[in-house]
Amino acid sequence: GAVVSQHPSWVICKSGTSVKIECRSLDFQATTMFWYRQFPKQSLMLMATSNEGSKATYEQGVEKDKFLINHASLTLSTLTVTSAHPEDSSFYICSASLAGSSPLHFGNGTRLTVT
Amino acid sequence: GENVEQHPSTLSVQEGDSAVIKCTYSDSASNYFPWYKQELGKRPQLIIDIRSNVGEKKDQRIAVTLNKTAKHFSLHITETQPEDSAVYFCAAIYGNKLVFGAGTILRVKS
């Protein structure tokens, strides 16, 4: 149980274009999902907390107009990287937890490369 | 602030030896401390976790200890095997957010 599916697993896009990443909880409902970014040989850095039916909460230094988060249902959150630039190239991972418990379950991650 | 310090950044051990990774956190209200193992290009996998109402937890070759007074917790891996080689992350809960340490690259030499 507690499976989180993330799509796509990798994407290459041109500078200036937008990319959408989907995160789904397959066998549970997630009122809250978390988006992390991981640069090579670094740790996971929380970008934002996605709340179903309300606005996302962004961490300091993360541009909300650049990283658009939508959490329209209890099983789906999306992250759109708008006007992507090479410095946005990274590993993006979503996660969710069962309501009322702490363990985070991670998606497989999306490797974004901006050329 | 929300901070988790992790040491060492790299650790090399001989197969069969023990490995210890240590983390400290800053908020005494934190009550949940998981450890994740991440292999190259893959998602983090939860290997063990501990809550603030216990001081130690063990699962086969892996154990975690927690010292709430000192605000630090440690991962212990005994009888290390080459397949234990990976990056290990500690984490602590701040509110509803999970904050990660910088990671430890563990290399088990056979």
The percentage of residues in chain A with a pLDDT greater than 90, rounded to a whole number, is 75
Task: Tell me if residue A110 falls in helix, strand or coil.
Answer: strand
Measure CB to CB from residue B99 to each of A46, A93, A106 and give the nearest one: A46
Show the low-confidence residues of chain A (pLDDT under 50).
Answer: none
Segment B22-43, tens digit of pLDDT: 999 999 889 999 999 999 989 9
The pLDDT assigned to A99 comes to 60
| A66 lies within 8 A of chain B by CB | no
CB contact under 8 A, A103 and B46: yes
The pLDDT assigned to A53 comes to 83
CB contact under 8 A, A49 and B102: no
Q: What mean pLDDT, rounded, does chain A reach?
A: 92
CA distances from B72 to A29, B47, B55, B61, B101 (A): 33, 18, 11, 20, 12
**Which residues of chain B does A60 touch, with a Cβ-Cβ cutoff of 8 Å?**
none
Segment B38-59, tens digit of pLDDT: 999 899 999 999 998 889 999 9
Q: How many CB pairs under 8 A join A and B?
A: 43
The percentage of residues in chain B with a pLDDT greater than 90, rounded to a whole number, is 85
